[in-house]
Amino acid sequence: MTLYPEAKRGVRWLTKEEVTRLLHALPPHQRQLARFALATGLRQANVLGMRWSAVDLERRTAWVHADEAKSGIAIGVPLNDEAIAVLREEIGKHDDYVFTFRRRPLAKANTKAWQNALRRAGIEHFRWHDLRHVWATWHVMAGTTLGELQELGAWKCEAMVKRYAHFAPEQLRKAADRLATFWYTAPKASGAEPPQPIDSGGQGRN
């Protein structure tokens, strides 16, 4: 039996309007998870497992330890204003874990409540992990370079980042404009002889 390679799944992302609909449809505790994922690009396991001991609000940084990272390398996570806002809203809910439900750590985010929210928001074929694709896509559209994105997302392989390159072709416009010095100019019709009459009789006049 011949085995064929599995078709690659394209990058699934959402517009800001779609994300707003989804966030409105989510229950509060899952809305916080999704907001933090969209602000940081962290994977589901790292969001669910985030502990206060790995968060420094003053330095605006969080950490994912090497044994918790998919790449096996520790990750320093810069926290933007949205991420800081989410964290401040979670202060006091649990002494150890950042994100909880009824004061208990969450085991997973892709739950029935998540699926119901997708339906209410009118969003199809979207996984929880696709929030990371949304984060990466929005970054590239905002002008983040692929090198910066690779560092932010802690990807070891450059090829994993290049799948987002087509979302910002304008970043290559400066390179394309380097050939703008060559322009084809059509030749001008200068000094052309006027058309000559055709002698149909073959004989001249007397």
According to DSSP, residue 70 is labeled: T
> Is 178 an annotated catalytic residue?
no
Structural contact between residues 55 and 98, judged by C-beta atoms closer than 8 angstroms: yes
Q: What letter represents residue 112's amino acid?
A: K
Catalytic residue, chosen from 9, 59, 65, 70, is 70
Catalytic residue, chosen from 21, 132, 133, 139, is 132
Distance CA 48, CA 98 (A): 8
Phi first, then psi: what are they for 51, rounded to 5°? -115, 155
> Is 70 an annotated catalytic residue?
yes
Catalytic residue, chosen from 35, 43, 133, 139, is 43
Residue (of 7, 48, 8) closest to 131 by Cα position: 48
> Is 35 an annotated catalytic residue?
no
130's tokens: 């696709």
- Map tokens 């990272």 to a residue: 69
> Is 155 an annotated catalytic residue?
yes
Catalytic residue, chosen from 52, 63, 97, 155, is 155
> Is 9 an annotated catalytic residue?
no
Catalytic residue, chosen from 129, 156, 162, 166, is 129
> Is 128 an annotated catalytic residue?
no
Catalytic residue, chosen from 13, 135, 138, 164, is 164
- Map tokens 């009789």 to a residue: 201
Catalytic residues: 43, 70, 129, 132, 155, 164
